[in-house]
Every structure is written in structure tokens, then in C-alpha cells.
Amino acid sequence: MIVLEGRNLTKHFTSARGPRGRLGRRPPVRAVEDVSIALRAGSVSALVGESGCGKSTVARLLAQVYPATSGDLLLRGEPVRAHRGAAFRDYRRQVQLIFQDPFSSLNPFHRVRYHLARPLRIHGHARSDEQERTMVAELLERVSLTPVEQFMDKLPHELSGGQRQRVAIARALAVQPVALIADEPVSMLDVSIRLGVLRLLEELAKESGLALLYITHDIASARYFAEDITVMYAGRLIESGPSEALTQSPRHPYTRLLLESAPDPDRVTPPDATRHGEPPSLIAPPGGCRFHPRCTVALPVCSSEAPGRTELGEGRWTHCWQAETPDPVAR
């Protein structure tokens, strides 16, 4: 069941720097253009792309941290219209965000107990002190911070990075959301503990029926954890499909580049993500397909017209003029 859906989401920011145009206005940063994405109950989806491609902006649009320039949100199939008031607050409760840096999202002066009890109180889930204590303990157990008594009264700085991220996850769960958007949730954590936090998120999605969006620059981890992957480049979606199929036979040259650049223990020479150049500016993105200046198999049409969406069957699609060519790179 689709829990949360963004349809044709577009976000243009007013840029604070750069030259002004003829009317004295600065051109907008076209951070997100025409992004459609659907999250399913009990399922992990991944949104993958390089730094600056607009992933965090998509996360914030889905969580309604700020409004979209255009496009629609649907929660359980119902269009979301409230941008303030009780219905808006309820939406913000149901769609929770987990950030990259758990330290900055926890108040350094408050103990773990406070961080978890506060949302329980605000949303009326705990009606007595005793119920609150029980619920805080349950939340800590759900994120495997046990024995719970050891963690209740800790301050954020007394916890490891992984433990802090688990507290942030528990806090998000406290308000009983239907969707969780995890924006690079492990990229600031020690490599040795990343797997544990990702497994926890996966378990929570499966057991609690949460719809989980895992946002990452690391397509290798997305392949491992997510059922489906959507790839983003310079503000636009370029390819999507079931993780295994997409990573086994990528159809967009950019997805192929991402896979080639991903860490691979069997490869002798180190990968070079910038082999085909750098991502473009989002103030003046290239015309046509935004990837064409970096694409090794670009055709003349790629620089003049943006490719529409080609359905490839079995839940796969891509935006590429050569979508139907089996392997344009190998030609």
C-alpha cells in the first residue's frame, strides 16, 4: 500500500548570491524539478545521488519542512492541502525525518528520557508519569538501547554516535509515524556501526509497517537495504526500479557511473567518481538531459530536449534517449 506520495514536486530557492538579472532579481536555484516518488508500508525505498543533487530537498518537501514551489503530496492516497493548523501538525507527526547528524538534533542539556518523553506528552500518547516511563522504556528497547535503565538518564555527549542516532530514531517513533525519511542516517557514523543502524531501520520498517525512505549517496548500501532504488541527478529523477534489477543492469549512463564509482572490495584500482566531470550548477542547469555534458554516449538530441519517462516493465523506468538501446556504452 502506498503511504506517502510526492507527485511532480518542484522546489526553486531564491539564491542569496550570484549576479542579478535585468530586473535586479537573482535567478533561482532549481534544486528539485518534477520529482515523483511513492513510499510503501513496510518497505524500504532508497533515493540515491551525489552531494548537492537535491536529495535533502526532496526529504524536506515530503516532510513539509517547507512548501513545494509546485507539485502535490498524498498521504494514504488523500491529497494533502493543510499548510498550517491541526491537520498540518498531524501530517508533520505522521511523516518523520531522521537527519545525518544526531548530535545536532538532540538538545545537549537534556537527558535521553526527556527527548523521548516530550513527544509522548505533546501528542497525548502518555497520560501518566508511569505510562510515560513504560513507553520510554519500550522505545529504548525497540532501538536496542538496552538495558534501558542504563540509557534513560544519559546526556547526548555520554553516548556514542550510533547510540545517539538510535535515540533520534526512538524519538521519531514516539509519535507513531506512518513514514520515516532517513536522510544520510549513517554517513557520519563510524563504518563499523553503520550496518547495525541500517539493520535497525530495516527491521522497524518490516515489523511496524513503516514506509521508509533511505536517502544516501552510496548506491552499494542502497542495493543492500532497499527494495527499490530511485536515482537522482542534478535535481531530476533519472532512473528507478527494484534494487537488484537496477544495479545488475542499469539503464541510465549516470546510474552506471554511480555503480562504477561505488566501493568494491574486489577492485584493484580505486574508483574515480569525477571521471566524467562534475555535477552542473543548479542555477543554470544544462538544457536537454542534465547529464548530457558528462555522458559518454550522448546523442545530439540529448543536449536539446529533456527525455521523457520510458517505462521498462517490472516496475522499472528511466529518463534517457537511449533507454531502449540495450547497452549504449558497450556499442
Ligand X SMILES: Nc1ncnc2c1ncn2[C@@H]1O[C@H](COP(=O)(O)OP(=O)(O)OP(=O)(O)O)[C@@H](O)[C@H]1O
Contact residues for ligand X, defined by CB under 6 A:
13, 15, 29, 31, 49, 51-57, 282
Q: Which three cell numbers stand for residue 190?
A: 563510524
Q: Please give the C-alpha separations between residue 146 and each of 134, 219, 233, in angstroms, as whole numbers.
A: 14, 31, 41
Q: Minimum distance from CB of 56 to ligand X (Å)?
A: 3
* Residue 182 to residue 226: CA distance in whole angstroms: 12
Nearer to ligand X, 13 or 103 (CB): 13
Q: Which three cell numbers stand for residue 39?
A: 513510499
Nearer to ligand X, 144 or 187 (CB): 187
315: nearest Cα among 244, 252, 254, 256: 244
Q: Please give the C-alpha separations between residue 124 and each of 84, 89, 128, 132, in angstroms, as whole numbers.
A: 20, 13, 10, 10
* Residue 214 to residue 241: CA distance in whole angstroms: 15
Q: Minimum distance from CB of 68 to ligand X (Å)?
A: 13
How does strand 211-216 pair with strand 44-48? parallel
Nearer to ligand X, 29 or 246 (CB): 29
Q: Is 236 helix (H, G, I), strand (E, B) or coil?
A: strand
Is residue 279 within 8 A of residue 52, CB to CB? The reply is: yes
Q: Minimum distance from CB of 184 to ligand X (Å)?
A: 6
Q: Minimum distance from CB of 106 to ligand X (Å)?
A: 20
Q: Minimum distance from CB of 325 to ligand X (Å)?
A: 28
Q: Minimum distance from CB of 101 to ligand X (Å)?
A: 11
Q: Minimum distance from CB of 34 to ligand X (Å)?
A: 15
Is residue 3 within 8 A of residue 39, CB to CB? The reply is: yes
Cis peptide bond prior to 147, omega within 30° of 0: yes
Nearer to ligand X, 32 or 120 (CB): 32
Nearer to ligand X, 55 or 290 (CB): 55
Nearer to ligand X, 147 or 277 (CB): 277
182: nearest Cα among 218, 157, 152: 218
Q: Minimum distance from CB of 67 to ligand X (Å)?
A: 12
Nearer to ligand X, 236 or 251 (CB): 236
293: nearest Cα among 234, 230, 231, 232: 234
- Please measure the distance between the N-terminal and C-terminal CA atoms of the chain and give it in whole angstroms: 40
Nearer to ligand X, 86 or 191 (CB): 191
Nearer to ligand X, 191 or 268 (CB): 191
The phi-psi region of residue 309 (left if phi > 0; otherwise alpha if psi is between -120 and 50; otherwise beta) is beta
* Residue 29 to residue 282: CA distance in whole angstroms: 5
Q: Minimum distance from CB of 108 to ligand X (Å)?
A: 23
